[in-house]
Amino acid sequence: MGNFTFYETRIKDVYIIDVKTYGDNRGYFMETYKESDFKEAGLDYNFVQDNQSSSRKGVLRGLHFQKTHPQAKLVRVLKGEVFDVAVDLRKDSPTYGQWVGVVLSEENKRQFMIPRGFAHGFVVMSDYAEFAYKCDELYHPEDEGGIMWNDPAIGIEWPEVGEIILSEKDKVHPSLKDSKIVF
């Protein structure tokens, strides 16, 4: 499909996307999104907001979702390297409570497509990382939700990065079992 190769993960509707890059002695060029190619792959999203963050090594952001305004996200790394995770929160899904993760970096230029109904988070593996993502729903601060990044019932195998640095919000998220979220 043109400049994208779409790989479905072991969790239905979650994709790892390799992007074709064109480079020479001047640098490189790549398309990061093309609506027609994504639709042809069955990924029909209407992205309405782009976000970007920067973090230092050990920063773990997540696991986040919006409760009544869920967001699909197309995520990628501009600088550095992160381990990115999606946790299935769809109650009727055969993979409810399971996770899938991928290393995203400026070198591999991979993207991760996370549909609505998932918690999302990442940890920075490099000294510094810049992270960008598209969302198909606007951000609503009053609608934020989250689950514990280290919930043993989910069992995410985070890479070793030294000290984990969390926001105050992320330190107090409930376990999946104690969460009242239903997608």
> Residue-wise pLDDT tens for the chain (183 aa)?
689 999 999 999 999 999 999 999 999 999 999 999 999 999 999 999 999 999 999 999 999 999 999 999 999 999 999 999 999 999 999 999 999 999 999 999 999 999 999 999 999 999 999 999 999 999 999 999 999 999 999 999 999 999 999 999 999 999 999 998 879
> Which residue type, as a one-letter code, is found at position 68?
T
CB 166: neighbour CB atoms within 10 A? Answer: 17
Percentages of the chain per state (helix, strand, coil), in multiples of 5: 5, 40, 50
Count of Cβ atoms closer than 10 Å to residue 111 Cβ: 24
| Model confidence, pTM | 0.95
Catalytic residue from among 15, 33, 45, 133: 133
Three-state SS for 124?
Answer: strand
Catalytic residue among 15, 33, 45, 64: 64
For residue 38, give the DSSP letter. Answer: H
Q: Give catalytic status of residue 173 as yes or no.
A: no
Task: Supply the pLDDT for residue 182.
Answer: 77
Residue spans of beta strands (DSSP E) within 1-127? 4-8, 15-19, 22-24, 27-29, 49-56, 60-66, 73-79, 81-88, 99-105, 111-114, 118-124
Cα 13 to its chain centre, rounded Å, is 13
Which residues make beta-bridge pairs with 43?
none
Which residue has tokens 């790989």? 7
- SS3 state at 37: helix
For this structure, is 22 an active site residue?
Answer: no
